[in-house]
Chain A
Amino acid sequence: MEELELLKKDWRKQERASSFPKLTKDDIYKLLLKKSSSIVKWIFIISLLELAFAIVLGLMVFTDDYKQMTQTIGLNKVMLVIEVLSFAIMFFYIYKFYKNYKAISVTDSSSDLMRNILKTRQTVKNYIKIMLSFSAVVSMITLISSMLYDPRYQKLTEKLAQSMSVTWAYVLQIVFFLFITAVLIGIFWLIYQLLYGLLLRRLKKNYKELKQLEF
Protein backbone atom coordinates (compact mmCIF):
# COMPACT_ATOMS: atom_id res chain seq x y z
CA MET A 1 0.00 0.00 0.00
CA GLU A 2 1.45 3.24 -1.12
CA GLU A 3 0.11 5.29 1.77
CA LEU A 4 1.45 2.92 4.42
CA GLU A 5 4.89 3.06 2.81
CA LEU A 6 4.65 6.81 2.87
CA LEU A 7 3.84 6.60 6.55
CA LYS A 8 6.82 4.35 7.14
CA LYS A 9 9.10 6.83 5.43
CA ASP A 10 7.73 9.61 7.58
CA TRP A 11 7.98 7.49 10.72
CA ARG A 12 11.69 7.04 10.11
CA LYS A 13 12.09 10.70 9.39
CA GLN A 14 10.49 11.52 12.74
CA GLU A 15 13.02 9.35 14.49
CA ARG A 16 15.99 10.81 12.66
CA ALA A 17 14.77 14.29 13.41
CA SER A 18 14.69 13.15 17.08
CA SER A 19 11.26 14.53 17.68
CA PHE A 20 11.02 12.47 20.87
CA PRO A 21 11.76 13.67 24.37
CA LYS A 22 15.20 12.65 25.55
CA LEU A 23 15.42 11.29 29.07
CA THR A 24 18.72 11.37 30.88
CA LYS A 25 20.01 8.50 33.01
CA ASP A 26 19.02 10.46 36.11
CA ASP A 27 15.45 10.77 34.80
CA ILE A 28 15.33 7.00 34.29
CA TYR A 29 16.74 6.33 37.76
CA LYS A 30 13.91 8.44 39.17
CA LEU A 31 11.34 6.49 37.20
CA LEU A 32 12.57 3.22 38.72
CA LEU A 33 11.47 4.46 42.14
CA LYS A 34 7.89 5.01 40.98
CA LYS A 35 5.18 2.47 41.67
CA SER A 36 3.48 0.42 39.00
CA SER A 37 -0.25 0.81 38.46
CA SER A 38 -0.67 -2.09 36.05
CA ILE A 39 -3.88 -4.10 35.94
CA VAL A 40 -1.95 -7.18 37.08
CA LYS A 41 -1.14 -5.39 40.31
CA TRP A 42 -4.78 -4.42 40.78
CA ILE A 43 -5.95 -7.92 40.00
CA PHE A 44 -3.48 -9.29 42.53
CA ILE A 45 -4.70 -6.95 45.30
CA ILE A 46 -8.37 -7.56 44.55
CA SER A 47 -7.83 -11.31 44.31
CA LEU A 48 -6.17 -11.36 47.72
CA LEU A 49 -9.14 -9.49 49.17
CA GLU A 50 -11.50 -11.94 47.51
CA LEU A 51 -9.59 -14.94 48.81
CA ALA A 52 -9.64 -13.44 52.30
CA PHE A 53 -13.37 -12.82 51.96
CA ALA A 54 -14.01 -16.39 50.81
CA ILE A 55 -11.94 -17.79 53.66
CA VAL A 56 -13.78 -15.69 56.24
CA LEU A 57 -17.08 -16.71 54.68
CA GLY A 58 -16.00 -20.34 54.87
CA LEU A 59 -15.21 -19.97 58.54
CA MET A 60 -18.32 -17.95 59.33
CA VAL A 61 -20.81 -20.55 58.15
CA PHE A 62 -19.58 -22.90 60.83
CA THR A 63 -21.43 -21.01 63.51
CA ASP A 64 -22.10 -22.31 67.00
CA ASP A 65 -25.73 -22.79 66.00
CA TYR A 66 -24.64 -24.92 63.11
CA LYS A 67 -22.29 -26.99 65.25
CA GLN A 68 -24.90 -27.48 67.94
CA MET A 69 -27.50 -28.50 65.41
CA THR A 70 -25.30 -30.99 63.64
CA GLN A 71 -24.46 -32.47 67.01
CA THR A 72 -28.07 -32.72 68.03
CA ILE A 73 -29.10 -34.41 64.84
CA GLY A 74 -26.01 -36.60 64.80
CA LEU A 75 -24.31 -35.05 61.78
CA ASN A 76 -20.93 -34.76 63.51
CA LYS A 77 -19.11 -36.80 60.91
CA VAL A 78 -20.76 -35.02 58.00
CA MET A 79 -19.80 -31.71 59.56
CA LEU A 80 -16.20 -32.80 59.92
CA VAL A 81 -16.07 -33.91 56.29
CA ILE A 82 -17.54 -30.60 55.13
CA GLU A 83 -15.05 -28.64 57.20
CA VAL A 84 -12.07 -30.64 55.99
CA LEU A 85 -13.34 -30.34 52.44
CA SER A 86 -13.69 -26.59 52.67
CA PHE A 87 -10.10 -26.25 53.87
CA ALA A 88 -8.85 -28.59 51.16
CA ILE A 89 -10.66 -26.49 48.53
CA MET A 90 -9.19 -23.34 50.06
CA PHE A 91 -5.60 -24.61 49.91
CA PHE A 92 -6.08 -25.98 46.43
CA TYR A 93 -7.29 -22.63 45.11
CA ILE A 94 -4.67 -20.58 46.90
CA TYR A 95 -2.00 -22.81 45.39
CA LYS A 96 -3.58 -22.60 41.95
CA PHE A 97 -3.90 -18.83 42.21
CA TYR A 98 -0.26 -18.48 43.24
CA LYS A 99 0.89 -20.72 40.39
CA ASN A 100 -1.17 -18.87 37.78
CA TYR A 101 -0.11 -15.50 39.11
CA LYS A 102 3.54 -16.49 38.91
CA ALA A 103 3.03 -17.57 35.30
CA ILE A 104 2.09 -14.03 34.25
CA SER A 105 5.10 -12.68 32.45
CA VAL A 106 5.34 -9.44 30.54
CA THR A 107 7.99 -11.01 28.32
CA ASP A 108 5.55 -13.61 26.96
CA SER A 109 3.75 -13.01 23.70
CA SER A 110 0.71 -10.72 24.01
CA SER A 111 -1.64 -13.61 23.55
CA ASP A 112 0.01 -15.75 26.26
CA LEU A 113 0.16 -12.81 28.64
CA MET A 114 -3.55 -12.09 28.23
CA ARG A 115 -4.46 -15.75 28.59
CA ASN A 116 -2.47 -16.08 31.82
CA ILE A 117 -4.06 -12.98 33.32
CA LEU A 118 -7.54 -14.25 32.47
CA LYS A 119 -6.66 -17.68 33.87
CA THR A 120 -5.57 -16.16 37.17
CA ARG A 121 -8.83 -14.22 37.32
CA GLN A 122 -10.83 -17.29 36.52
CA THR A 123 -9.23 -19.21 39.40
CA VAL A 124 -10.40 -16.69 41.95
CA LYS A 125 -13.79 -16.41 40.28
CA ASN A 126 -14.25 -20.17 40.49
CA TYR A 127 -13.28 -20.19 44.14
CA ILE A 128 -15.78 -17.44 44.89
CA LYS A 129 -18.50 -19.36 43.06
CA ILE A 130 -17.73 -22.54 44.98
CA MET A 131 -17.60 -20.76 48.33
CA LEU A 132 -20.87 -18.93 47.69
CA SER A 133 -22.68 -22.12 46.74
CA PHE A 134 -21.04 -23.93 49.62
CA SER A 135 -22.12 -21.27 52.12
CA ALA A 136 -25.63 -21.30 50.74
CA VAL A 137 -25.88 -25.08 51.19
CA VAL A 138 -24.44 -25.02 54.70
CA SER A 139 -26.71 -22.14 55.70
CA MET A 140 -29.66 -24.04 54.29
CA ILE A 141 -28.76 -27.10 56.39
CA THR A 142 -28.41 -24.87 59.44
CA LEU A 143 -31.76 -23.24 58.77
CA ILE A 144 -33.65 -26.48 58.25
CA SER A 145 -32.14 -28.17 61.28
CA SER A 146 -32.76 -25.04 63.34
CA MET A 147 -36.39 -24.98 62.30
CA LEU A 148 -36.74 -28.56 63.35
CA TYR A 149 -34.75 -28.53 66.57
CA ASP A 150 -34.18 -25.00 67.83
CA PRO A 151 -36.80 -23.86 70.35
CA ARG A 152 -36.49 -20.23 69.18
CA TYR A 153 -37.40 -21.20 65.63
CA GLN A 154 -40.14 -23.43 66.89
CA LYS A 155 -41.66 -20.44 68.65
CA LEU A 156 -41.53 -18.45 65.41
CA THR A 157 -43.11 -21.31 63.51
CA GLU A 158 -45.84 -21.56 66.12
CA LYS A 159 -46.55 -17.85 65.80
CA LEU A 160 -46.74 -18.10 62.04
CA ALA A 161 -48.84 -21.24 62.31
CA GLN A 162 -51.53 -19.23 64.07
CA SER A 163 -52.53 -17.72 60.76
CA MET A 164 -51.54 -20.57 58.43
CA SER A 165 -50.76 -24.26 58.43
CA VAL A 166 -47.46 -25.53 59.90
CA THR A 167 -46.24 -26.63 56.47
CA TRP A 168 -46.85 -23.15 55.08
CA ALA A 169 -45.01 -21.65 58.03
CA TYR A 170 -41.96 -23.75 57.13
CA VAL A 171 -42.28 -22.94 53.44
CA LEU A 172 -42.54 -19.24 54.21
CA GLN A 173 -39.37 -19.29 56.26
CA ILE A 174 -37.47 -21.18 53.57
CA VAL A 175 -38.72 -18.87 50.84
CA PHE A 176 -37.76 -15.85 52.91
CA PHE A 177 -34.30 -17.30 53.46
CA LEU A 178 -33.88 -18.06 49.75
CA PHE A 179 -35.03 -14.55 48.86
CA ILE A 180 -32.49 -12.91 51.20
CA THR A 181 -29.76 -15.19 49.87
CA ALA A 182 -30.66 -14.36 46.26
CA VAL A 183 -30.64 -10.62 46.96
CA LEU A 184 -27.28 -10.80 48.72
CA ILE A 185 -25.74 -12.86 45.93
CA GLY A 186 -27.28 -10.52 43.37
CA ILE A 187 -25.77 -7.42 44.97
CA PHE A 188 -22.45 -9.20 45.29
CA TRP A 189 -22.53 -10.27 41.65
CA LEU A 190 -23.35 -6.76 40.47
CA ILE A 191 -20.40 -5.22 42.29
CA TYR A 192 -18.25 -8.02 40.97
CA GLN A 193 -19.27 -7.51 37.38
CA LEU A 194 -18.79 -3.77 37.63
CA LEU A 195 -15.35 -4.09 39.17
CA TYR A 196 -14.02 -6.61 36.71
CA GLY A 197 -15.96 -5.16 33.84
CA LEU A 198 -14.04 -1.94 34.29
CA LEU A 199 -10.73 -3.66 34.88
CA LEU A 200 -10.88 -6.34 32.22
CA ARG A 201 -13.10 -5.00 29.45
CA ARG A 202 -10.21 -3.80 27.32
CA LEU A 203 -8.13 -6.91 27.94
CA LYS A 204 -10.98 -9.21 27.01
CA LYS A 205 -11.68 -7.24 23.86
CA ASN A 206 -8.05 -7.40 22.78
CA TYR A 207 -7.77 -11.08 23.63
CA LYS A 208 -10.86 -11.84 21.62
CA GLU A 209 -9.46 -9.93 18.68
CA LEU A 210 -6.23 -11.95 18.78
CA LYS A 211 -8.11 -15.23 19.23
CA GLN A 212 -10.47 -14.49 16.36
CA LEU A 213 -7.49 -14.74 14.07
CA GLU A 214 -7.05 -18.37 15.00
CA PHE A 215 -10.16 -19.42 13.12
Chain B
Amino acid sequence: MTKELQHQFVTLLEKNQNIVHKVCRIYTSDQDSHNDLFQEITIQLWKAFPKFRGDAKFSTWMYRVALNTAITLYRKSKKNVGTSSFDALEFKIRSEEYDDTEEQQLKVMYRAVKQLSDIEKALVFLYLEDKNYKEISETLGITEVNARVKMNRIKTKLKQIVNP
Protein backbone atom coordinates (compact mmCIF):
# COMPACT_ATOMS: atom_id res chain seq x y z
CA MET B 1 0.00 0.00 0.00
CA THR B 2 2.73 2.45 1.01
CA LYS B 3 4.73 1.46 -2.04
CA GLU B 4 1.75 2.03 -4.26
CA LEU B 5 1.12 5.42 -2.65
CA GLN B 6 4.79 6.30 -3.01
CA HIS B 7 4.76 5.37 -6.66
CA GLN B 8 1.64 7.43 -7.24
CA PHE B 9 3.19 10.40 -5.47
CA VAL B 10 6.52 10.21 -7.28
CA THR B 11 4.77 9.99 -10.64
CA LEU B 12 2.62 13.04 -9.88
CA LEU B 13 5.54 15.05 -8.53
CA GLU B 14 7.77 14.20 -11.47
CA LYS B 15 5.07 15.45 -13.80
CA ASN B 16 4.44 18.64 -11.83
CA GLN B 17 7.95 19.36 -10.54
CA ASN B 18 8.18 22.68 -12.37
CA ILE B 19 5.83 24.25 -9.82
CA VAL B 20 8.29 23.43 -7.05
CA HIS B 21 11.24 24.64 -9.10
CA LYS B 22 9.50 27.92 -9.74
CA VAL B 23 8.79 28.45 -6.04
CA CYS B 24 12.45 27.70 -5.32
CA ARG B 25 13.51 30.18 -7.96
CA ILE B 26 11.50 32.96 -6.35
CA TYR B 27 12.74 32.28 -2.83
CA THR B 28 16.35 31.15 -3.12
CA SER B 29 19.54 32.64 -4.43
CA ASP B 30 21.80 29.80 -5.48
CA GLN B 31 21.65 26.22 -6.64
CA ASP B 32 22.44 24.78 -3.20
CA SER B 33 19.58 26.62 -1.52
CA HIS B 34 17.36 25.79 -4.47
CA ASN B 35 18.05 22.09 -3.97
CA ASP B 36 17.66 22.43 -0.23
CA LEU B 37 14.25 24.07 -0.50
CA PHE B 38 13.21 21.61 -3.21
CA GLN B 39 14.05 18.78 -0.84
CA GLU B 40 12.08 20.28 2.04
CA ILE B 41 9.04 20.93 -0.18
CA THR B 42 9.20 17.34 -1.48
CA ILE B 43 9.27 16.00 2.09
CA GLN B 44 6.35 18.21 3.14
CA LEU B 45 4.37 17.19 0.04
CA TRP B 46 5.02 13.54 0.76
CA LYS B 47 4.07 13.91 4.42
CA ALA B 48 0.80 15.58 3.47
CA PHE B 49 0.08 13.28 0.52
CA PRO B 50 -1.97 10.64 2.41
CA LYS B 51 -4.43 13.41 3.20
CA PHE B 52 -4.63 14.51 -0.42
CA ARG B 53 -8.05 13.34 -1.47
CA GLY B 54 -8.02 14.23 -5.09
CA ASP B 55 -10.98 16.55 -4.74
CA ALA B 56 -8.59 19.34 -5.65
CA LYS B 57 -6.20 19.27 -8.55
CA PHE B 58 -2.81 17.93 -7.55
CA SER B 59 -1.13 21.02 -8.95
CA THR B 60 -3.41 23.38 -6.95
CA TRP B 61 -2.67 21.42 -3.82
CA MET B 62 1.05 21.60 -4.62
CA TYR B 63 1.04 25.38 -4.91
CA ARG B 64 -0.26 25.63 -1.37
CA VAL B 65 2.16 23.16 0.22
CA ALA B 66 5.13 24.50 -1.72
CA LEU B 67 4.43 28.13 -0.86
CA ASN B 68 3.69 27.33 2.77
CA THR B 69 6.98 25.49 3.02
CA ALA B 70 8.90 28.35 1.42
CA ILE B 71 7.25 31.10 3.47
CA THR B 72 6.76 29.42 6.82
CA LEU B 73 8.42 26.06 7.37
CA TYR B 74 11.72 26.38 5.58
CA ARG B 75 14.66 27.57 7.64
CA LYS B 76 16.77 29.73 5.42
CA SER B 77 20.48 29.62 5.79
CA LYS B 78 22.01 33.03 6.34
CA LYS B 79 23.54 33.43 2.95
CA ASN B 80 20.29 33.46 1.01
CA VAL B 81 18.10 35.65 3.15
CA GLY B 82 16.25 38.17 1.07
CA THR B 83 17.75 37.33 -2.27
CA SER B 84 16.58 35.19 -5.10
CA SER B 85 17.85 33.26 -8.04
CA PHE B 86 16.58 35.83 -10.49
CA ASP B 87 20.19 36.67 -11.20
CA ALA B 88 20.49 33.37 -12.97
CA LEU B 89 17.47 34.29 -15.05
CA GLU B 90 19.04 37.51 -16.16
CA PHE B 91 21.83 35.64 -17.86
CA LYS B 92 19.36 33.52 -19.73
CA ILE B 93 17.43 36.57 -20.82
CA ARG B 94 20.52 38.22 -22.15
CA SER B 95 21.38 35.27 -24.31
CA GLU B 96 18.01 35.29 -26.01
CA GLU B 97 16.82 37.64 -28.71
CA TYR B 98 15.08 40.49 -27.04
CA ASP B 99 15.02 44.05 -28.06
CA ASP B 100 17.17 46.20 -25.82
CA THR B 101 14.44 48.11 -24.04
CA GLU B 102 12.49 44.98 -23.18
CA GLU B 103 15.59 43.26 -21.92
CA GLN B 104 16.47 46.25 -19.84
CA GLN B 105 12.95 46.48 -18.43
CA LEU B 106 12.91 42.81 -17.51
CA LYS B 107 16.25 43.04 -15.83
CA VAL B 108 15.06 45.89 -13.67
CA MET B 109 11.79 44.10 -12.91
CA TYR B 110 13.49 40.92 -11.77
CA ARG B 111 15.71 42.97 -9.50
CA ALA B 112 12.66 44.77 -8.13
CA VAL B 113 10.83 41.54 -7.31
CA LYS B 114 13.94 40.45 -5.46
CA GLN B 115 13.44 43.30 -3.00
CA LEU B 116 9.90 42.30 -2.05
CA SER B 117 8.94 40.58 1.21
CA ASP B 118 8.13 36.85 1.45
CA ILE B 119 4.40 37.51 1.33
CA GLU B 120 4.69 39.94 -1.56
CA LYS B 121 6.76 37.42 -3.48
CA ALA B 122 4.02 34.84 -2.92
CA LEU B 123 1.43 37.18 -4.41
CA VAL B 124 3.64 38.02 -7.38
CA PHE B 125 4.38 34.34 -7.89
CA LEU B 126 0.69 33.39 -7.94
CA TYR B 127 0.01 36.33 -10.24
CA LEU B 128 2.74 35.21 -12.63
CA GLU B 129 1.22 31.75 -12.50
CA ASP B 130 -2.05 33.27 -13.72
CA LYS B 131 -3.99 32.46 -10.56
CA ASN B 132 -7.14 34.48 -10.00
CA TYR B 133 -7.71 36.52 -6.84
CA LYS B 134 -10.00 33.86 -5.41
CA GLU B 135 -7.21 31.27 -5.53
CA ILE B 136 -4.63 33.75 -4.28
CA SER B 137 -6.82 34.68 -1.32
CA GLU B 138 -7.56 31.05 -0.45
CA THR B 139 -3.90 30.04 -0.64
CA LEU B 140 -2.73 32.85 1.63
CA GLY B 141 -5.77 32.91 3.90
CA ILE B 142 -6.77 36.51 3.28
CA THR B 143 -9.94 37.94 1.77
CA GLU B 144 -10.25 38.45 -1.96
CA VAL B 145 -10.57 42.20 -1.49
CA ASN B 146 -7.38 42.29 0.58
CA ALA B 147 -5.55 40.21 -2.02
CA ARG B 148 -6.48 42.81 -4.63
CA VAL B 149 -5.48 45.69 -2.36
CA LYS B 150 -2.15 44.03 -1.59
CA MET B 151 -1.49 43.29 -5.25
CA ASN B 152 -2.17 46.91 -6.16
CA ARG B 153 0.23 48.04 -3.46
CA ILE B 154 2.86 45.68 -4.80
CA LYS B 155 2.38 47.07 -8.29
CA THR B 156 2.85 50.58 -6.95
CA LYS B 157 5.88 49.47 -4.98
CA LEU B 158 7.41 47.81 -8.04
CA LYS B 159 6.73 50.92 -10.08
CA GLN B 160 8.54 53.01 -7.50
CA ILE B 161 11.52 50.69 -7.48
CA VAL B 162 11.66 50.59 -11.27
CA ASN B 163 11.18 54.37 -11.71
CA PRO B 164 12.64 55.99 -8.61
Contacts and interface: CB of A to CB of B under 8 A. Distances in A.
Interface of A: 1, 3-4, 6-8, 10-11, 14-15, 17, 19-25, 28-29, 31-32, 34-40, 42, 105-114, 117, 199, 202-203, 205-206, 209-210, 213-214
Nearest to A32: B46
Interface of B: 6, 10-11, 13-14, 17-18, 21-22, 25, 38-40, 42-44, 46-48, 51-52, 61, 64-65, 67-69, 71-76, 89, 92-93, 102, 105-106, 108-110, 113, 117-119, 122, 124, 127-130, 138-143, 146, 149-150, 155, 158-159, 162
B62 to A, nearest CB: 10
User: Among the interface residues A3, A38, A40, A106, which one has the most CB atoms of the partner chain B within 10 A?
Assistant: A106
B97 to A, nearest CB: 11
Contacts of A113: 68, 72, 141
A206 B119 CA distance: 6
User: Among the interface residues A1, A6, A112, A213, which one has the most CB atoms of the partner chain B within 10 A?
Assistant: A213
A28 B14 contact: yes
A107 B72 contact: no
Contacts of A21: 21
A213 B73 CA distance: 22
Given A10-B93, A20-B21, A39-B73, A209 B139 contact: no
A106 B22 CA distance: 18
A25 B14 contact: yes
B159 to A, nearest CB: 7
A110 B140 contact: yes
A107 B43 contact: no
Given A110-B139, A213-B142, 7 more contacts: A3-B108, A6-B109, A32-B43, A39-B74, A106-B64, A107-B52, A110-B119
Contacts of A109: 64, 138-141
A25 B44 contact: no
Contacts of A29: 6, 10
24 contacts: A1-B155, A3-B108, A3-B158, A3-B159, A4-B155, A6-B105, A8-B127, A17-B92, A28-B10, A28-B14, A34-B43, A36-B47, A37-B40, A106-B47, A107-B64, A112-B141, A206-B119, A209-B117, A210-B141, A210-B142, A213-B142, A213-B149, A213-B150, A214-B142
A14 B22 CA distance: 10
Nearest to A13: B96
